[in-house]
Chains A and B, each alone.
Chain A
Amino acid sequence: MIAGAPAPESAARVPDGLAARMRWAVADTATLTTRNLIGYVRVPEALFFSSVQPIMFVLLFRYVFGGAIHPPHGSYVNFLIPGIFVQTVAFGSVATSIGLAEDLHKGIVERFRALPMARSAVLAGRTIADLVRNLFVAALITGIGYAVGFRVQTSAAAFLAGIAIIVVFAYALSWGFAFVGLSAPNSETAQVMAFPLLFPLTFASAAFVPVQTMPSWLQGFATHQPVSVVVNTARALMLGGPTSTLVWQSLAWTAGIVVVLAPLAVRRYRRTA
């Protein structure tokens, strides 16, 4: 038959009932997650953010700055790696901003809006792709960490719990940076908007140095801001120490970020027609 000819399957198709609607949403989210992951692998900048950059940071802090930094307990490399985990996934969430801004301004989102697909899939597919990427990044850093002398002091289960806390926190951040990306006029600006947010969060934090070494006016922020809380939680889980209060604080930050920023991102997405 002729390729362009209308065929019976072009008859109106809408999901019939809630179950069908859910199946569509899941299928569409999976389709877009795959598409976004392919993008992350094929775009050199994205690949750099999630592979070369964490290696550089590990080497930089382990061998260049590390000798000058003395954590209160244990070796610096053990202190450092939990911080690197959080810093890398936080930096990685910039990719959410850039990716969404790009889709929006290159007309891809417009095409998605004109397809009979679940509307939630655009944001869900983006944030879930980030989640998958962060799991890959976590595995990569674990490997590099072990190569430069990092050793888990607790148990494999506690280590994995630490990774879970970090990845879930990163998923929350993705929603925040999705909001940034949807608000930016283009992908370059999205990147420029994201970094001033990320820098204080990752560097004025417990990620690389003990907070006690900072000036007192900075310590308050550096101790209680979400990146530090999550870093300290991961440290406690991987290296030992009291964990329950920190775990609850981390989960509270994570939930808080999602509750506030996910609706903002969704609203922004709906409005940017």
Chain B
Amino acid sequence: MPSAIEVSGLVKRFPRGVLALDGVSFDVERGTVFGLLGPNGAGKTTVVRILTTILRPDEGGAKVLGRDVVREPELVRSLFGLAGQYAAVDENLTGRENLRMVGRLNHLPRPVVATRSKELLDQFELTDAADRTLKTYSGGMRRRLDLAAALVARPEVLFLDEPTTGLDPPARIGLWGVIEGLVETGTTVLLTTQYLEEADRLASRVAVVDHGRVIAEGTPAALKADLGATVLEVGLSDADTAARAAQLLESVSAKRPRVLGNDVELPADGGAAVATDALRALDRAGIVPLRFSLREPSLDDVFLTLTGHAAEERTAASSAPSSAPSSTARERS
């Protein structure tokens, strides 16, 4: 069976020589969730805008359910749903009116639109708010409605552009549950996110994007195993002690510790076992840590491993090639 989404060699230049995409390729199997993971400005949204026919690529191509996004944009538009961080819903309309509008614009018959709207309002727990204008909705409710709007025409492919960015943790977790429910019904989902945790929870495959390129691809488990193990964080009283501690900890894990001010971070594949060894080593040297904790790997850890720089410090790392754009406002200029 062909892939639901095929992306090959996408290049997109924006005015002033900004290279937003520098040869992005990936395939998404039918009925799976594919995560595009990367920091702000990595090019994730640009990929989605090309796949949804909003932008044309300068080079390369893409197909959605076998249809070419450049040559058959009209047809492609009838195949997918799009929801995202900008929650493109109409504030002056009620929830139900928003869904009806999108249903009508999908040219579904009126009775279908009415029943479908009702169904979706129920499914997304918006029935009580259905006839209130969106001005009264919370951020989480708007995102749910945005997602509902994307599903009115029962698309086989769904694009979710940073669906939980800016949401508070309970709203985020609620939306994750909704997305997981969709996947069980066989919808193919392309998800962009800045959160490793989100990709890990929802996606069966992940591509890490940086500077308009895919720099790693695989299952979340494989990526985490390769790139971002659990991290042991040790807080110490001063920088000298931190340097001494780092030296001691070199023998504890297969990976090298790094010193960040008064703290030491140690990638710890072995998790708790490494922590125990580390604590023993420090104790023998008479070092008493102020803090001592294990944390799950973050996007920063993955980026550090892959690129040698943290996700947020991209402009500071001026050794980047001159073709690489500055990291701000590049996806939506």
A68: interface (CB < 8 Å): no
Which residues of B have CB within 8 Å of A6? 154-156, 185-187
For A4, A28, A39, the residue with the greatest tally of chain B CB atoms inside 10 Å of its CB is: A4
Query: Which of B75, B77, B120 is A114 in contact with, Cβ under 8 Å?
Result: B77
Number of A-B contacts (CB under 8 A): 112
Could you tell me the distance between the alpha carbons of A251 and B108 in the complex, rounded to whole angstroms?
Answer: 40
User: When A13-B107, A116-B77 are in contact, do A4 and B90 touch as well, CB less than 8 Å?
Assistant: no
Which residues of A have CB within 8 Å of B154? 4-7, 9-10
Could you tell me the distance between the alpha carbons of A226 and B182 in the complex, rounded to whole angstroms?
Answer: 57
29 A–B contacts, CB within 8 A, in A order: A3-B119, A4-B151, A4-B181, A4-B182, A5-B187, A6-B155, A6-B156, A6-B185, A9-B108, A9-B153, A10-B153, A10-B154, A10-B156, A13-B106, A14-B78, A24-B107, A38-B92, A42-B133, A106-B88, A106-B91, A107-B88, A108-B88, A110-B54, A114-B52, A114-B82, A115-B105, A116-B78, A117-B106, A117-B107
Of all chain A residues, the one with the shortest Cβ separation from B77 is: A116
Which residues of A have CB within 8 Å of B75? 12, 14
- Would you call A12 and B67 a contact (CB within 8 A)? yes
- Would you call B106 and A115 a contact (CB within 8 A)? yes
A35: interface (CB < 8 Å): yes
For B91, B123, B151, the residue with the greatest tally of chain A CB atoms inside 10 Å of its CB is: B91
B221: interface (CB < 8 Å): no
B215: interface (CB < 8 Å): no
Q: How many residues of A contact B (CB 8 A)?
A: 34
B79: interface (CB < 8 Å): yes
Taking Cβ atoms with an 8 Å cutoff, the residues of B that contact A are: 49, 52-55, 67, 74-75, 77-80, 82, 84, 86-93, 97, 101-102, 104-108, 112, 119-120, 122-123, 133, 149, 151, 153-156, 181-182, 184-187
A31: interface (CB < 8 Å): yes
Which residues of B have CB within 8 Å of A108? 88-90
Could you tell me the distance between the alpha carbons of A112 and B104 in the complex, rounded to whole angstroms?
Answer: 12
Taking Cβ atoms with an 8 Å cutoff, the residues of A that contact B are: 2-7, 9-10, 12-14, 24, 27-28, 31-32, 35, 38-39, 42-43, 106-108, 110-117, 121, 273
Could you tell me the distance between the alpha carbons of A240 and B156 in the complex, rounded to whole angstroms?
Answer: 64
Could you tell me the distance between the alpha carbons of A24 and B77 in the complex, rounded to whole angstroms?
Answer: 14
List 5 additional contacts besides A10-B153, A107-B86, A114-B54; criterion CB under 8 Å.
A9-B153, A106-B86, A107-B87, A114-B82, A273-B54
Of all chain B residues, the one with the shortest Cβ separation from A28 is: B105
Could you tell me the distance between the alpha carbons of A146 and B54 in the complex, rounded to whole angstroms?
Answer: 51
Which residues of A have CB within 8 Å of B80? 114
Min CB distance A26 to B, Å, is: 12
Which residues of B have CB within 8 Å of A3? 119-120, 122-123, 151
Min CB distance A31 to B, Å, is: 4
- Would you call A110 and B88 a contact (CB within 8 A)? yes
Min CB distance B111 to A, Å, is: 12
- Would you call A35 and B182 a contact (CB within 8 A)? no
- Would you call A39 and B105 a contact (CB within 8 A)? no
